[in-house]
Structure 1
Amino acid sequence: MTEIPPVSETARNLRVWVLTNGMAGFESQAIGIAEALGAAPEIKRVAPRGPWKWLAPWGPAAPQADIAPPWPDLLIASGRQSIPYARMIRRQSAGRTFTVILQDPRVAPAHFDFVWAPAHDRLEGPNVLSTLASPHRLTREKLAAEAARFATQVAHLPHPRIAVLLGGSNAVYRLSEDTAARIAAQLAGLAEREGAGLMVTPSRRTGAAQTETIRAALEDKPAIVWDGSGDNPYFGFLGLADAVIVTCDSVNMVGEAAFTGKPVHVIELEAHRRKKEAKFRRFLDGIYASGAARPFTGRLESWEYAPLNATDEIAEAIALRLRACMAEARKG
């Protein structure tokens, strides 16, 4: 009997495209899945203008020079603007391109070979897989390597060392200056009361004033606040941390923190769009129920849980379906 290769070898010899609109979150998830399957994908970015942009995901694909035959063996697409292209490629390849969609495509999943959607989207179908956390590019090896890169920068910090991952305002949540002041006071309290060393990574959405408030509060504390220059220490801080504090506005950041197996404390921000908050609320309630995370109360807690690894779970499901399709094609 022919030995089935490991998941990480599934797509090594296949032509693989990752297709997105270039947004970092979509692209990172798709590349993470491709890498877990053993592929070095070609990155395709689409930017249709009106009327194609407005008609996505239901309308036709806008002409784009680099989206043309020869079609890939495996397509991993993510984001609303990618959907018309994924449908076109599957159709024009006569089904020979195995099409994977990440996130709810907003059209029937039956248009594709495999769809992953986060559990909080409540998408169902025979070819749909849902997981609590989202896929990403983190691996144990990458965490260790990034921790080694930044170890000297945090060597002076005491334990417990806490990675503080700050998002910011988005379509659902608001990180106001008042909220930043509250977070700053809580972090300073951890350093003073519990002797914690703080490794803080703000994002572009955190806001200049908010970041400065937090930086000023930690100026005389055992803390590092990344200033945006040089290499991003985000993964390094995760690898070096004894625990993680993360704002609730990014499903990806919370999921990556839960991949570490370290206690994850979630800072819940003020929601200003209640209807859109419902999905985030389902996600947060789900990750609390899983045991991976707890709401941040201003104090550190310690607990254990099985690390969340949606990337491998999704890659394994794709590999199983892809191998079955390839075997069927050989028979034909």
Structure 2
Amino acid sequence: MKPIRLPQPDSPTAVGVPEIFEGGAHSVVRRAVVIGNGFAGSENQSLGLVRALGLYDQHVLYRVTRPRGGINEWLHWLPVWLHKILYYVMTKLSICSRITRANKLSPFPSENGGSAGLASILEADVKHIVNLARDAYEKDGPLLVVASGRDTISVASSIKRLASEKVFVIQIQHPRSRLNRFDLVITPRHDYYVLTPEGQKQVPNFMLRWITPQEPPDEHVVLTTGALHQIDFSTLRSAASAWHDELAPLPKPLLVVNVGGPARYCRYGADLAKQLSDFLLSVLATCGSVRISFSEKTPLKVSSVIVKEFAQNPKVYIWDGEEPNPYMGHLAWADAFVVTADSVSMVSEACTTGKPVYVMGAERCTWKLSEFHKSLKERGVVRPFTGSEDISESWSYPPLNDTAEAARRVVEALAQRDLTLRP
């Protein structure tokens, strides 16, 4: 049985890419800066886009950091600059003895078990990045800046304002307002849920003007179905080879279960874990083997229910959290997936394979996350996990290809500025 059913997509830079213009280095983008926020779900989107554009080996990762620990966990709703000022004042005045200084920066592990692939991560400093764009412009041409997440918005927009002719700035995830601060905005369609009739019914009138987004999408907004990520044909092929000895011999069909954790718009606890366990027991007879993985966000009250039920079952393997992380191997070798509904990233990555994806707990999701699952279901990309499935009966769909499609739109937007990617 073939481990991968995903067709190899065309390179986003291979179709419709203009020849290198006569302007020389000034018209060719050869380098990229990624601005992250320390969250794997956000940073993987930027890194995935940079990879799809062929600049992964020419990027530097900077990170916007916040103070951590103690009362800082209650201050994350503040703009990052205000949070830092408040933290500094409280520290100087010794108001809160439990405040701990931010941890030393280190590569943040990604949901797919990898890391940024860099030896170190630098603090995102607007002046430094602007100087980097200016100083190397004559030799290396314009700088591609890719940022994702709320905390990166002010940094990315400031870089664009200060070095507009020497940078091309892409903001991933909706930046709330004034989209013209960026050259391109890439965001899921469900971020515009508030502008739909259904969304407006759920928001009190006095709050409508404060809810993102405030502007409908225009020509420089790229709408995706799900999250961008680093999963593509080449990474799956490499994972299939790396995990061949461990996963290829397993009895088929192989069902992979990815469990996340409660989220803002998808809350659950031990009750969902118990329901998931019951459903897995119901389909176990149609599975050759089952492998279960928990994410860093999975609370103990969820994982303990599942571990207690399946720890002694010879058909079921539960990853213990120790390296190496089998996430990529699972994507490559699984015949079907069950994914909890809380993580847009995990669902999007599974749907990139074209293999059956069953979602657990989508009925518990609200607001724009509910809209995301509704759109996938209507397209036939996912099905709800009910416990009555025959896992040996496969089905397929056109795989989600958001990252490659977004990369194509970036190439088109660059061409409008007479820019092209390095050959």
State the identity %.
33
Residue of structure 1 in register with 2:71 after alignment: none
1:296 maps to 2:385 = yes
Residue of structure 1 in register with 2:63 after alignment: 45
Return closer, same or farther for 1:34/1:282 CA change in 2, 3 Å cut-off.
Answer: same
Q: Distance in 1 between matches of 2:249 and 2:317?
A: 10
1:130 pairs with 223, 233, 247, which one?
223
Q: Give the secondary-structure state (helix, strand or coil) at the position aligned to 2:61.
A: strand
Unaligned runs of 5+ in 2: 1-11, 19-26, 68-74, 84-123, 134-141, 193-215
1:6 maps to 2:14 = yes
Residue of structure 2 in register with 1:250 after alignment: 343
Q: Distance in 1 between matches of 2:183 and 2:31?
A: 17
Letter in 2 for 1:253: M
Moved over 6 A (4+): 7-12
Question: Which of the two has higher C-alpha Rg?
Answer: 2
Return closer, same or farther for 1:305/1:109 CA change in 2, 3 Å cut-off.
Answer: same
Return closer, same or farther for 1:25/1:289 CA change in 2, 3 Å cut-off.
Answer: same
Return closer, same or farther for 1:175/1:146 CA change in 2, 3 Å cut-off.
Answer: farther
Q: CA deviation at 1:63?
A: 5.8
Return closer, same or farther for 1:9/1:149 CA change in 2, 3 Å cut-off.
Answer: farther
Q: Give the secondary-structure state (helix, strand or coil) at the position aligned to 1:19.
A: strand
Letter in 1 for 2:173: Q
Q: CA deviation at 1:52?
A: 5.2
Q: Give the secondary-structure state (helix, strand or coil) at the position aligned to 1:30.
A: helix
Q: Distance in 2 between matches of 1:7 and 1:93?
A: 29
Q: CA deviation at 1:270?
A: 6.7
Letter in 2 for 1:120: H
Report which structure shows greater RCO (CA 8 Å, sep ≥6). 2
Q: Distance in 2 between matches of 1:52 and 1:296?
A: 39
Cα deviation, 1:122-172, whole Å, max 9, x if unaligned, reads 251120010112210001121122123223333453211111111111222
Q: Distance in 2 between matches of 1:185 and 1:300?
A: 13
Contact 1:188 1:217 in 2 (8 A): no
Contact 1:174 1:270 in 2 (8 A): no
1:318 pairs with 410, 414, 417, which one?
410
Residue of structure 2 in register with 1:23 after alignment: 39
Q: CA deviation at 1:87?
A: 1.3
Q: CA deviation at 1:183?
A: 1.1
2:176 pairs with 94, 106, 109, which one?
106
1:119 pairs with 168, 189, 192, which one?
189
1:1-332 matched pairs, under 5 angstroms: 6=14, 14-40=30-56, 41-47=59-65, 53=80, 66-71=128-133, 73-122=143-192, 123-155=216-248, 157-191=250-284, 193-218=285-310, 219-268=312-361, 271=364, 277-300=366-389, 302-327=394-419
- Across the aligned residues of Structure 1 and Structure 2, the Cα RMSD in angstroms comes to 2.7
Q: Distance in 2 between matches of 1:143 and 1:280?
A: 27
Unaligned runs of 5+ in 1: 57-61
Q: Distance in 2 between matches of 1:247 and 1:84?
A: 33
Contact 1:177 1:209 in 2 (8 A): yes
Letter in 2 for 1:98: F
Question: How many residues are paired up?
Answer: 315
Contact 2:28 2:419 in 1 (8 A): no
